[in-house]
Amino acid sequence: MRVLLLAEHNNDTLDPATRSALTAARQLGGDIDILVIGDACRPVAENASRLAGVSRVLWVEAAHFREPAAENLASQVLAVASGYSHVLAAATSMGKSVMPRVAAVLDVAQISEVIGVLGVDTFSRPIYAGNATQTVQSFDPVKVITVRVSAFDASDEGGAAPIEPVEAVSDCGLSRVVGRQLTRTGRPELGSADVVVAGGRGLGSRENFIALLEPLAQELDAAIGATRAAVDAGFVSNDLQIGQTGKVVAPRLYIAVGLSGAIQHLAGMKDSQVIVAINKDADAPILQVADYGLVGDLFEIVPALIDALR
Amino acid sequence: MKILVSVKRVVDYNVKVRVRADGSGVETANVRMSMNPFDEIAVEEAVRLRESGVATEVVVVSAGAAQCQDTLRTALALGADRAVLVETGAELQPLTVAKLLKAVCQREQPKLVLCGKQATDDDASQTGPMLAALLGWSQATFASKLTVSGDRLTVAREVDGGLETVECLLPAIVTADLRLNVPRYVTLPNIMKAKRKPLDTVTPEFLQVDVTPRLKTIQVCEPPARAAGRRVADVAELVAALSSRGVIA
Ligand SMILES: Cc1cc2nc3c(=O)[nH]c(=O)nc-3n(C[C@H](O)[C@H](O)[C@H](O)COP(=O)(O)OP(=O)(O)OC[C@H]3O[C@@H](n4cnc5c(N)ncnc54)[C@H](O)[C@@H]3O)c2cc1C
Ligand SMILES: Nc1ncnc2c1ncn2[C@@H]1O[C@H](COP(=O)(O)O)[C@@H](O)[C@H]1O
């Protein structure tokens, strides 16, 4: 068995999502090669080579991989994929754009958002916004998988894998990235934060959202998240949406403020270790999954909570 | 320019699904079904492109049982011009759907295909990019804004860190995210009009696509339930509970 893991990075540092996907890869057994595709991304290859359980780092550099298009990433993966029994990536927006292309060209199924490795060909994954868990077995010669990051702990360092340069495929010219507007919050990254403070429509406005949740997050060194309703209303940027179609998080502590707990939101946070909900409606569904529910007006409770934490 | 939009019939997003006692799947009998919400957004976008003169025709395609006709009629009521049903009783997985859509694309020759970014039943998020790969076309997933100019498409994509803008060569596949638009309401007159719009039916055999699934579902089960929590009276009790549990310092 040989596993190829596609790395997620920004040409400088390896994304923690890849370290979680590596943990899933290690549960398969066999040799694991990490594929780093980028431009001037040697530091990433070095990062990857230090991770425990890695056999080799395959390192590809080309100018068109600076801001890579999914079409080019997929053709690079395909160029090295032969001989591997498993091709993995984290289920990030990159992984979800590239891996289906890889699977289709190999004429094999893709298995999305794997949360459990039950054997070399058997995996579990959530369906219906996490309201059911499906166990699937693949009969394809190659298993192409995306891994749900929140379901696996990040692998540690402790390795010293060789870094092998690989020739880059040429730019297929189908599409190119012409701009990026990345959100900089100054807060811990949502996907890997230990504590998440999430707000919903109940906050009422962008001003309230920031005035109440920023200091709360500050006290707890937490990442900030939001519901779709809060994002649609412009309280925060889209990449902070948690749920079926947003980020999936499983922090040690999740504080839900002024959000109802729709199925689609629960899908992204119900595996958190401890859930606290602050809501004025005693019947809000979020209170049914909360370990600690506080029924009342968030505009009184949140400032009091910030005071109590200081 | 012709636009093709794929629409899937799924359990309505408001329904809380139940897992069948024998673990074979999720109960779909006597459950409210509707169009996958992302596909509704995709249809709306295509109709807007036709209304603004960018597109000339909007063809909607669904694969599945005969009841998918209802989904297609809804898409026609939203403003699509014509529908194609690929009728089959087989279990369809994304790779198969992508192959069926490819075969339909080869007959219809659209310049742009719009899919939902994911189906809310299998939550796979695969079909669009798979179709793009099978056709050798460009792709833009998770679209929240789309503009066509000449033979190019500019798409704002919702990615993990924020927004990314890509420029794609046509023909292209775009998958619709939630914020691409807000679909219009279907009105009664438009439902009546939709009944007279053409709806063709083909089969996988006719399209020469093998629908044998590649993945076998071994079991479907309920996720582990969370232990019942408790109500706390005030902030002091909450903070005490959290610190005695060791989750805050
Ligand atoms: C296809 C699809 C995908 C979706 N994906 C997602 C997703 O990924 N993530 C997501 O979050 N949603 C998603 N949604 C939307 C989801 O269905 C809900 O509409 C959304 O989560 C509701 O957001 P909310 O809880 O902020 O708002 P609401 O449901 O309006 O809840 C607001 C809550 O705030 C409380 N409140 C109001 N004022 C106060 C106050 N002063 N003090 C205390 N409490 C107060 C209210 O009691 C209420 O419970 C999706 C929907 C669809 C159709
Ligand atoms: N049976 C189907 N018929 C028509 N379109 C489909 C079907 N299955 C998936 N799709 C399309 O592919 C998108 C993504 O589905 P999935 O890859 O299953 O998450 C959906 O939003 C639809 O646009």
Name all domains of chain A by residue range, CATH numbers in brackets: 2-165 (3.40.50.620), 190-309 (3.40.50.1220)
B11 lies within 8 A of chain A by CB: yes
* Cα Rg of chain A, angstroms: 21
**Residue A68 has what pLDDT?**
96
Residue B93 CA to chain centroid, in angstroms? 13
Contact B166 A69 (CB under 8 A): yes
**Residue A185 has what pLDDT?**
74
Cis before B213? omega within 30: no
Tokens of A148: 């749900």
**Least confident window among A42-51, A294-303, B186-195, B219-228:** B219-228
Residues ≥6 apart with Cβ < 8 Å to A10:
none
Shortest-distance ligand to the CA of residue B4: 2
d(CA A101, CA A104): 5
Report the interhelical angle of B68-78 vs B188-195 (nearest 10°).
120
A220 lies within 8 A of chain B by CB: yes
Amino acid at position A54, single letter: V
A254 close to A223: Cβ distance less than 8 angstroms: no
Residues ≥6 apart with Cβ < 8 Å to B224:
none
d(CA A95, CA A122): 20
Ligand 1 pocket, residue A72 CB under 6 Å: no
Contact A111 B245 (CB under 8 A): no
The percent of residues in chain B predicted with pLDDT above 70, rounded, is 100
Residues of chain A with pLDDT under 70: none
**Residue A183 has what pLDDT?**
81
What's the whole-number mean pLDDT along residues B103-125?
98
**Residue B57 has what pLDDT?**
98
Closest CB to A308: pick one of B157, B213, B236. Answer: B236
Most A CBs within 10 Å, among B91, B154, B160, to test the A interface: B160
Residue B58 to chain A, least CA–CA distance (Å): 24
Using an 8 Å CB-CB cutoff, list chain B residues near A239: 158-163
Question: Could you tell me the distance, in angstroms and rounded to a whole number, from the CA of residue A262 to the centre of ligand 1?
Answer: 6
Residue closest by Cα to atom 11 of ligand 1? A227
Q: Can you tell me whether residue A5 is helix, strand or coil? A: strand
Measured in degrees and rounded to the nearest 5, phi and psi for residue A273 equal: -70, -55
B196 lies within 8 A of chain A by CB: no
Q: Could you tell me which of A158, A154, A160, A164 has the C-alpha nearest to residue A42? A: A164
- Beta strands (DSSP E) in chain A are 2-6, 31-38, 56-61, 86-90, 110-114, 116-117, 122-127, 132-138, 143-147, 163-165, 175-182, 195-199, 223-226, 253-257, 274-279, 292-295
- Beta strands (DSSP E) in chain B are 2-6, 9-11, 33-35, 57-64, 82-87, 112-116, 138-149, 152-159, 162-169, 172-176, 199-202, 215-221, 230-231
Residue closest by Cα to atom 13 of ligand 2? B116
Most B CBs within 10 Å, among A18, A64, A75, A136, to test the B interface: A136
Closest CB to B129: pick one of A97, A135, A305. Answer: A97
Mutate to test the pocket of ligand 1, among A228, A249, A301 (most ligand atoms within 8 A of CB): A228
Domains in chain B: boundaries: 2-244
Ligand 2 pocket, residue B126 CB under 6 Å: yes
Amino acid at position A249, single letter: V
d(CA A244, CA A176): 28
B53 close to B30: Cβ distance less than 8 angstroms: no
Residue B224, Cβ neighbours under 10 Å: how many? 9
Report which secondary-structure segment, H or E, holds A99. helix A93-106
d(CA A184, CA A163): 32
Tokens of B86: 């690929």
Residues ≥6 apart with Cβ < 8 Å to B237:
none
Q: Can you tell me whether residue B19 is helix, strand or coil? A: strand
Q: Can you tell me whether residue B147 is helix, strand or coil? A: strand
Q: Could you tell me which of A148, A182, A26 has the C-alpha nearest to residue B163? A: A182
Domain B2-244 has CATH 3.20.20.70: no
Residue B123 Cα: closest atom of ligand 2: 19
Tokens of A28: 């398969």
Torsion over CA: A118, A120, A122, A127 (sign)? positive
Predicted complex ipTM: 0.96
Residue B125 Cα: closest atom of ligand 2: 19
**Residue B235 has what pLDDT?**
97
- Beta strands (DSSP E) in B1-137 are 2-6, 9-11, 33-35, 57-64, 82-87, 112-116
| B125 pLDDT above the threshold of 90 | yes
Comparing alpha-carbon positions, the chain A residue that sits nearest to B217 is A136
Report the interhelical angle of B127-135 vs A70-80 (nearest 10°).
70
Q: Can you tell me whether residue B98 is helix, strand or coil? A: helix
d(CA A67, CA A177): 6
Cα B78 to Cα B39, B83, B192, distances in angstroms: 11, 12, 11
Residue A63 to chain B, least CA–CA distance (Å): 17
User: Helix, strand, coil shares of chain A as percentages rounded to 5?
Assistant: 35, 30, 35
**Residue B228 has what pLDDT?**
82
d(CA B151, CA A190): 38
